[in-house]
Amino acid sequence: MLIDDRGLLSLDLFAATLIVLMTITSMVAITGDRLVNVNSFQEISCAKILAENLAQLIESVYSGGEGYETTYKMPSNISNSPSLIIVDNSGVYIHLNGKMGYAHLIPMKIAYGSYYGPGRAILRPDESYKITNIKDQYQMTYIIIKEI
């Protein structure tokens, strides 16, 4: 019984409630912080995996030889945040929520659209791209990334 016959709360109950409340308060701070960290880690892990997968795809197109092509669809978001990928000769760069990650690419010439020449491709959320291995008139191999 929480309240005795005379309507008085016991001191034990008061002390126990106080300790429980203090413990819950501290637990809320710790678990809240932990949840934020876990979500943040999930977000950057997904972004990193996305960049690594795209780098792997581009390398497979490169090693596939002239004429090899594949399509790639950018996801609409990563944990509800839009991401942007930039591919150039030095690698694959992913931008997410003011942060940036990188996936290594073997040395190759990257071109964007119908322009044959060293450049960089910008891949936007929810768009599809065709990645093609092409040789130009000087027999230089280019990886062309074109929006479809």
Residues that bind another protein (CB under 8 A): 6, 11, 14-15, 18-19, 22-23, 25-26, 29-30, 32-34, 36-37, 40-41, 44-45, 47-48, 91, 95, 98-102, 104
Nearest CA-CA partner of 85 in 112, 115, 62, 117: 112
Q: What is the 3-state secondary structure (H, E, C) of 135-147?
A: ECCCCCEEEEEEE
Token pair recorded at residue 9:
């709360």
Determine the Cα–Cα distance for residues 60 and 21; give it in Å rounded to an integer.
Answer: 58
**DSSP label at residue 3:** B
Q: Work out how close the CB of 120 gets to another protein at its nearest, in angstroms, rounded to a whole number.
A: 14
Q: Work out how close the CB of 17 gets to another protein at its nearest, in angstroms, rounded to a whole number.
A: 11
DSSP letters, 95-144, are EETTEEEEE---S-EEEETT--SS--EEE-TT-EEEEEEEE-TT--EEEE
Q: For residues 37 and 71, which CB has a smaller minimum distance to another protein in the complex? A: 37
Q: For residues 124 and 135, which CB has a smaller minimum distance to another protein in the complex? A: 124
Q: For residues 14 and 115, which CB has a smaller minimum distance to another protein in the complex? A: 14
Q: Work out how close the CB of 125 gets to another protein at its nearest, in angstroms, rounded to a whole number.
A: 18
Q: Work out how close the CB of 56 gets to another protein at its nearest, in angstroms, rounded to a whole number.
A: 14
Q: For residues 48 and 120, which CB has a smaller minimum distance to another protein in the complex? A: 48
